[in-house]
Amino acid sequence: MKKTLRELATELNIDEKHFDKDFLMLDNRIAVMQDEKGLHLTDVFSWACFSPVKIGRKSNATLKGLQFQLGQYKVYIKQLQGAK
């Protein structure tokens, strides 16, 4: 049986306060989301405006997959800061 994003986050000691609905909010705009294919980073602002913009690569809905998404987020933020 597949684990939910909440269950995976709990295993990494990520507090429940970081969730908004079923999104694991990493900042005020970027979240990890889970769909039938796995986990992915999403620009939540784009979700509200038109259709969700997925960032980077998908990963499996596993503990290792969530760790991959968190690492991918760090790289994405560094790239944005370098572009300024």
pTM of the model: 0.85
Structure tokens that stand for 55 in this block: 């960032």
Could you tell me which residues come within 8 angstroms of residue 20 by beta carbon, excluding any fewer than 6 positions away?
A: 31
Share of the chain above pLDDT 70, in %: 94
Burial of 65 (0-12, 13-18, 19+ CB in 10 A): buried
CA 19 – CA 28 distance, rounded (Å): 11
- Residue with token string 């970027």: 30
Residue 81 has pLDDT above 90, yes or no: no
The pLDDT-based confidence of 22 (bands split at 50, 70, 90) is confident
